[in-house]
Amino acid sequence: MHRLLTGVLIWLLLAPAWAIDYVPPRGDWQRVDPAQAGFDPQGLAAAVRLAQERAVVEPNDLAVPIRESFGDEPGFEILGPTGTRETSAGLIIRGGRIAAEWGDLERVEMTFSVVKSYLSTVAAVARADGLLADLDEPVARQVRGDEFSSDHNALITWRHLLNQTSDWSGTLWDTPDWADRPEGDDPAAWPHRELHPPGSHWKYNDVRINLLAYSLLQVLREPLPVVLRERIMDPIGASSTWRWHGYENSWVTLDGRKVQSVSGGGHFGGGLFINTYDHARFGLLFLRGGRWGEDQLVDPQWIEQARRPTPGRADYGFLWWLNTDRERIPAAPESAYWAAGFGGNYIYIDEEHDLLIVLRWVPALDEVVTAVTEALTP
């Protein structure tokens, strides 16, 4: 730990001024020599080779691994678009500059559960606008309808939805909550599972994440992709190529308009389709504490809350994964955190080293982060 802190202090003292607050302008991104960015060039090159060797891009048709992983679940059906994967891609960024890159960085691809961290950020926008004044307030007070009408569901708060401890019970977009990653070996018992008090039981569940997206849509009264574009993606200079999809049956009428409620994952298809550069801009926004240049786009207090361990799941926050007690990635700082999606999609953020890593189709996050961290020069 002493060596780590010493290295961080040296980096902050000796790094060029551009390394502290640089953000790339729209349509451009500066590169920096690995040695100038504080890497051993050979070590960084080895980390890139490792990432390329660990990549998994077959089968190319993403509907195939989705069905292989989730197709045995009750009533499973792909309800949204999927697409393909061709090659792995990645970026290693320090001081905001690109120190290493590989693959087709402009290819728009499915990103699975990385979108959950984007959804969390839309909640941050709603919070900043005063629409989520109290995260511990029951959602039923703002979202009317059958979704929160039962005695159990009426107790669910925004915080429960954000940290996946709601244990919401019901059916959304024709999919019951229990059919997503069902627990136990008796299918007959799945529809009659024990209900846990909201806030007491963590469960990774795309049906409930989609409920959060639907609830935010009801509160914001605007399509979530529009909110994300106007408040986050356009200000950080993202391209116009990304798309956020829902399902073929997730259309609702909102103030007289037909609006699609988007997906917070890719389990049933849909979700965020985006290129690697745009992922990196989003990650850099969080590496900069929610600030982009002169503009504070995400409240630092929200980021702090989003990184607090969830009761019953110490390595999870508000739809971000955490390195609590350095358990997930021992070589990384405990303060590191990341967005993660099926198939090896990651946005890894390390404030202590001013380091950002974006991976596409590289499942071995811990190995790559360890290799990159070891390539840092003292």
17, with CB counted inside 10 A (0-12, 13-18, 19+), is: exposed
Token pair, residue 220, equals 């914001």
pLDDT at 20: 61
pLDDT at 19: 54
pLDDT at 83: 95
C-alpha separations of 209 from 24, 135, 309, 363 in Å: 32, 16, 18, 22
> Comparing C-alpha atoms, which of 131, 144, 140 is closest to residue 168?
140
Mean pLDDT, contiguous 10-residue spans, the chain (378 residues): 44 50 94 97 98 98 97 93 96 98 98 98 98 97 96 98 98 96 88 94 97 98 98 98 98 97 97 98 98 97 98 96 98 98 98 98 98 96
Domain locations in the chain as residue ranges: 2-105+273-374, 117-262
pLDDT at 21: 80
Which residues 6+ apart lie within 8 Å of 253 measured at CB?
A: 259
pLDDT at 2: 45
Collapsed DSSP state (helix, strand, coil) of residue 167 = coil
Is residue 194 within 8 Å of 153, Cβ to Cβ? no
Q: Which fold has domain 117-262?
A: Beta-lactamase (3.40.710)
